[in-house]
Amino acid sequence: MKSKRQQVILQLIEEHPIDRQEELLQRLKAAGFEVTQATVSRDIRELGLIKTAASGGGYRYVTPANQNAFTPHSASRFETIFRESVLRVDNAGHVVLVKCYSGMANAACGMFDAMPWQNVVGTLSGDDTFLILMRTEEDAKAITQQLNQYVLPHMPGAAR
């Protein structure tokens, strides 16, 4: 049932410019699924859905694999979210730690996941920190330097 529901979600976001969980919830109910807000939220997270600018203005859900999500606008959005939410970036071994303002890590991590990075194995987000697992220590050092370009230098604890 979960797999079928998630396939329907992917079909719905492909066919309609859905920008809110409530709208997705209503469309799933109309399609015959008995779902709650928590179920929809969990499905969005498990599918890795992100919001990106819609062609007619506003936003819509897309899958990270959807190449239409990687527009110049989403790159600009990545920079804005990172500058406004990240305090510092550091690495230890294969792991990169991104320290954010409290409550901002999920947004920053979601935006990070939406961008096409090389050698990223995966991410794990908390409330004020998210971790990036890289393939090698060299990859971790390189992405740390790259991400630090988006951290405002006047921020306390900003690593350079």
pLDDT higher at 75 or 45: 45
Whether the per-residue pLDDT at 152 is higher than 90: the answer is: no
pLDDT of residue 26: 96
φ, ψ dihedrals at 77, nearest 5°: -65, -40
Average pLDDT over every residue of 138-146: 93
Over the stretch 4-62, which tens digit does the pLDDT of each residue have? 898 899 889 888 889 899 999 999 999 999 999 999 998 888 888 888 777 667 788 88
- Alpha-helical segments (H) within the chain: 2-15, 21-30, 37-47, 72-85, 105-114, 137-148
CA nearest to 157, candidates 107, 101, 77? 101
The pLDDT confidence band at residue 153, using thresholds 50, 70 and 90, is low
Query: Which residue type is seen at 157?
Result: G
Average pLDDT over every residue of 89-103: 94
Percentage of the chain beyond pLDDT 70 is 84
Least confident of 48-57, 79-88, 110-119: 48-57
pLDDT of residue 156: 53
Average pLDDT over every residue of 88-105: 94
Percentage of the chain beyond pLDDT 90 is 42
